[in-house]
Amino acid sequence: MKIKVSAVLFFIISCFHAQEMKDTDGDGIWDKDDACPTVAGKSELNGCPKDDCTENSKLQKRNVEDFVSQQKEINYLALQKHFLQILKKINFDSEILLFLNSNVSEGEGPSKCPTLDFSEYQEYSTSNFIWNESMLNDLSRTLDQTIFPVSYNSWWWGNGGFYTENSKEFIFLSKSQINYINKLPLFSDVKHGRIRYIRVKNKKLEGLSKDFNQIIFRQDRTIVNGSFETEIELTINTKIEFHAYIFKYDFDKKDWLLTSDKSQIITIK
């Protein structure tokens, strides 16, 4: 029995080591250390073929095309349903801040090359697929607290994060999200001005809470061997509890998997 277990462990370690030592473009530089893993390059240029940004731009464009095609295949409906099941179980004791945006950029290539932004990333980002109009409407029917869609970037820097009329934070959203938010009612606040909110169950909004509940979506997307790997985290903060759920996209099964060993629920005392 020990021999069988040892053999299995050796096989797993060997597979892991093989992945670590992969050299897709055959230039002698392992993918994990190669700034351009899909095209042969020079070691002094971090694995890229030229010390300029021409090839880098081509690589980035190809990666964007791959990214878009992969996003179209992902089962986001299943993930949305799973999110709703989680959110139904949470006791939200005050208004909710729902963080919508996620800024995605492409940076493969020599270090001196600029990081390029593509409009496709905004239209096809994971957060835009999850927090679409259908999901936001489902949230308003499911939760019993007023929801404020907010921008994580603006909130982090102490600017409230609320979406206002013609908000500059719209640059991080898809066109459909912007259209949805622009149709939402406005609430006038002394500090933040006229801010958009999602009305829940005809509940009248009379003022802003000092202690908001939070629904935060984060994503970690990296390019590995020319393909995107995506891990996302859904965190929920209330006055009482902190919930963290980690999901990872499996490109073989085209589905989202819950990595339960990373999930946690912490009671705040």
pLDDT in tens, 23-46: 888 888 887 777 777 778 777 677
Q: Enter the tokens of residue 220.
A: 């970690």
Give mean pLDDT, residues 85-98: 90
Q: Enter the tokens of residue 25.
A: 């473009």
Distance CA 26, CA 5 (A): 34
Distance CA 38, CA 55 (A): 11
Report the candidate in 73, 96, 71, 63 with the shortest Cα–Cα distance to residue 200: 96
Q: Does the predicted model carry a pTM greater than 0.85?
A: no
Distance CA 264, CA 269 (A): 16
Give mean pLDDT, residues 244-261: 66
Report the candidate in 120, 125, 121, 118 with the shortest Cα–Cα distance to residue 74: 125
pLDDT at 15: 41
pLDDT at 7: 40
pLDDT in tens, 188-226: 888 888 999 998 877 778 888 888 999 988 776 665 555
pLDDT at 196: 93
pLDDT at 117: 66
> Exposure string (b/e) for 145-180, b if CB count within 10 Å is 16 or more?
bbbbbbbbbbbeeeebbbbbeebebbebbbeebbeb
